[in-house]
A and B are shown apart, each in its own frame.
Chain A
Amino acid sequence: MWNILRTRLLQGQRTTAFPASAPELPPRFRGRLALDPSLCDEGCCGCVDVCPTNAIAKKNGLALDLGRCLFCSECVDRCPTDALTSTPDYRLATTSREALTLSGEPLELAQSLSADIAKRFGRSLGIRVVSAGGCAGCEAEVNALSNIVFDISRFGVHVVASPRHADALIVTGPVSQHMLGALEATYRAIPAPKFVIAVGACAISGGPYAESPQVEAGAASTLPIDLFIPGCPPHPYTMIDGILRALGRPVP
């Protein structure tokens, strides 16, 4: 007993100060990419060629789809100018799929999903998580949200076991054919009003599995998605930021 208390004291305070202050991220963290088409070389298609998920298109100007992006920064390394750069900005969540395509304008970050959602769930949100062909990377980071460092229960957000107790559904993975039915059944079992969060490149677009015949190209192929949280996997801060935004709660 004394040992437990002593260990507790020695451990100190572990919970992050975020969102009261901006999060601390490692110097090599690869966040949102930034695009400056005016610097893009006419004849160069280096980024398009190297991108593993074909997230970059260069037709009528340069466009980069954060929903497909794995944040590998191969395009940045390849870019001979500064048309493509990597930033430490961890804020990536949007409420529409189109908003994820960057073409030089600032990223339109997610906002409160609706006054009703903010009112009902702003202080208490139960989330059911379904992995549908995910590698367990996004799942691991979703799990991290409940640890003592990120502790989303501070915001009244908790992961629930039964869809009947849930208000929202997090989908991870590209949605494998074998999980399609179970995913849809889980969604149906959640009482309305409800909303769906696609976490990670796979759930948003199929990610590196988009071409695979054994998967759908992400959760949008079968469910209406209300919140998109890009990344491979998204950093826990990126997820908290997105969820709080969707609930209309203040974030830095």
Chain B
Amino acid sequence: MKHTPTGLHPLSLGGSVPLASLEPVAFSQFSSTLEDMVEAGGRLLSLFARPGADSENLLYALLARRTGTDTEASDHSRTTLNGGEHAFALGILCTQVTDGYPALTPALPAAHLFERDIFERHGITPEGHPWLRPVRQWAEQEVPWPMHALEGDEVHEVRVGPVHAGVIEPGHFRFQCHGERVFRLEIALGYQHRGLLADMVGAPHKRTIHRMETVAGDTCVGHSWAYAQTIEALSDVTPSPRAEAIRACGLELERLANHIGDLGAMAGDVGFLPTASYCGGLRGDVLNLSAAICGSRLGHGVIRVGGVGFDIEDELASTMREKLAAIRTAAARANTLLWASPSAMGRFEGTGTVPTDVARTFGLVGMAGRASGVDVDARRDFPTAAYRMHPVRPWLKQHGDVYARGRMRWREIEASFDFLEQVLERLPEGELRIAEAEVAADSLAVGIVEGWRGEVVHLAVTDAHGQLASYEIVDPSFHNWIGMEMALRGMEISDFPLCNKSFNLSYAGHDL
């Protein structure tokens, strides 16, 4: 597919599209183009609606279209290089629907949660959707809404949550079981819903950047960067290479901290305490490096629209490099113990498998997607300045089990150390922050950042006065929660905590 399919409007990161140029296509063309493109190795990044007067609603799809040939990744864990056969192009497709339309999900399962969201937020019904349930905005009396149920002798149901045993966010989990064996897990979320999207109408407000920093607390840089990208694209502002490099440092530190912490948590869940306790401390060491940049261990203040809030001066860069080298050695030591422990590996291997076809069908993204053989990484597919200078080569694994996700995290930890070493060796010159400019009216723009869990997508539409008229946030967890449900099928209930840690999905990022 070298040509641009009809009706698909090309879109680039950093650029905006006037709404007027987005001609709606017929619904049949909309759905067939989507199916064709996903069939050809493309992906659905977002699907959202903008309600209009007299039931003239617009439906938009944001797609990553493969512009190269699709080569099956077949080796055990091979690296893929930038560009060439893995080139993707962004495109947006639009159609007009009334209060209902034939659901896309039956032919395009990756649309399942987006369509539920459209129904919940705008009352536009995807007719024939196989599981039209609330996403996050339910009313109290709706809980529990009809969920999967299993009937018969000797089967039982285990209900957990919203309050769980550990210090984690709330969600409701239902396991349909036969003995210890789980037939099906269904997860009901929405407990963390804070009304983030509704507040974006009329934004930016002075609180907006702080809300973006807390979309998901462990992805502060990821979400605030995607937001900044979106606003910068709308106002035609390009941050300096230095600002882009500092942003990328913040993002990779975030990835390091979370991956190291989660490997520790996974080790802890199988009772392998040495790695668990070392990683807990090392995660903190990485957070302290974020704090050395911006004063906040979670990266608050790094990203500001137009650039960054803080500089990494030469002296700080060299102390950071020294500290990173020490953390790297210690992390390698701690994790070597884990990989060398047969009993820990016995629990990791073959647990919570998401096969490649399932992962592709549901559009899994990020680290969990790559562990199941889905070749996707926004740092390569939609690189910003720093990642063009210092390309990151994503790894792929095929097994999709806890072991694959664990190894994937370790590989990514090493890649982030490499990246930080290179970038901090010589930061490019440039202004820290460029003054904000006027936001384009009646336009649409996107921001895409490869957060530590995966692709973070923000998308804004402005009104005639250049204020935000609607805003979409797609946390990688939104794509991946179904992966958790699939991973548990056929497993034992006691595998749940380990599977859960290996994904470590965000509730707040999903619930908004």
Identify the A interface with B (CB < 8 A).
3-4, 7-8, 10-11, 14, 25-30, 50-53, 70-72, 129-144, 146-150, 159, 161-162, 173-174, 176-179, 181-182, 186, 207-209, 211-215, 232-233, 235
Contacts and interface: CB of A to CB of B under 8 A. Distances in A.
B296 interface: yes
B267 to A, nearest CB: 12
Contacts, number: 172
B328 interface: no
B211 interface: yes
Given A212-B195, A232-B300, A161 B165 contact: yes
B266 to A, nearest CB: 15
Contact of B140 (A148, A150, A178): A178
Contacts of A141: 297-298
Given A26-B295, A233-B298, 18 more contacts: A7-B333, A7-B334, A10-B330, A30-B296, A72-B210, A132-B170, A133-B193, A134-B217, A136-B218, A137-B217, A142-B167, A148-B280, A176-B191, A176-B511, A178-B162, A208-B214, A215-B194, A215-B195
A176 B295 contact: no
B288 A52 contact: no
Contact of B214 (A8, A14, A135, A215): A135
Interface in B191-243: 191-195, 198-199, 206-207, 209-211, 214-218, 220
Nearest to A77: B309
A147 B298 contact: no
Contacts of A71: 296
A215 B193 CA distance: 8
Interface string B290-323: 0111111110110000000010000000000000
Contact of B278 (A11, A136, A176, A213): A11
B20 interface: no
A7 B337 contact: yes
A50 B217 contact: no
Q: Which 8 pairs across A and B sit closest by C-beta, in order of nearness? A: A137-B217, A147-B280, A135-B217, A28-B295, A214-B195, A161-B165, A135-B214, A136-B217
A28 B193 contact: no
Contacts of A14: 281
B167 A235 contact: no
A7 B217 contact: no
Most chain A CB within a 10 A radius of its CB, from B166, B170, B199, B214: B214
Given A135-B508, A143-B167, A208-B211, A176 B298 contact: no
Most chain A CB within a 10 A radius of its CB, from B194, B293, B506: B194
23 contacts: A3-B337, A3-B340, A10-B330, A25-B291, A26-B291, A52-B206, A52-B209, A129-B167, A132-B170, A133-B193, A136-B169, A139-B168, A140-B217, A144-B284, A149-B284, A150-B284, A159-B167, A178-B192, A179-B170, A181-B140, A182-B170, A208-B211, A208-B214
B500 interface: no
B274 interface: yes
B210 A70 contact: yes
Given A3-B336, A26-B292, A28-B293, A72 B170 contact: no
Interface of B: 138, 140, 162-163, 165-170, 190-195, 198-199, 206-207, 209-211, 214-218, 220, 274, 277-278, 280-281, 283-284, 287-288, 291-298, 300-301, 310, 330, 333-334, 336-337, 340, 506-508, 511
B281 A212 contact: no
A159 B167 CA distance: 8
A10 B333 contact: yes
A232 B300 CA distance: 9
Contact of A182 (B162, B281, B298, B336): B162
Contacts of A182: 162-163, 170, 191
A117 B490 CA distance: 48
B216 A135 contact: yes
A176 B291 contact: no
Contacts of B337: 3-4, 7
B281 A140 contact: no
B207 A26 contact: no
Contacts of B207: 52-53, 208, 211
A173 B162 CA distance: 14
Nearest to B209: A52
A213 B199 CA distance: 10
Contacts of A136: 169, 216-218, 506-508
B217 A233 contact: yes
A27 B214 CA distance: 24
A134 B508 contact: yes
A53 B213 CA distance: 14
A51 B162 contact: no
Contacts of A186: 163
Most chain A CB within a 10 A radius of its CB, from B207, B209, B217, B507: B217
B225 to A, nearest CB: 16
A150 B297 CA distance: 14
Contacts of A133: 191-194, 508
Contact of B192 (A25, A144, A176): A176
Contacts of A130: 163, 170
Contacts of B194: 133, 174, 176, 209, 212, 214-215
Given A70-B210, A140-B298, A147 B168 contact: no
Nearest to A231: B296
Contacts of B165: 161-162
Nearest to A4: B274
Most chain A CB within a 10 A radius of its CB, from B192, B301, B333, B507: B192
Contact of A28 (B278, B287, B310, B333): B310
A29 B206 contact: no
Most chain A CB within a 10 A radius of its CB, from B162, B291, B295: B295
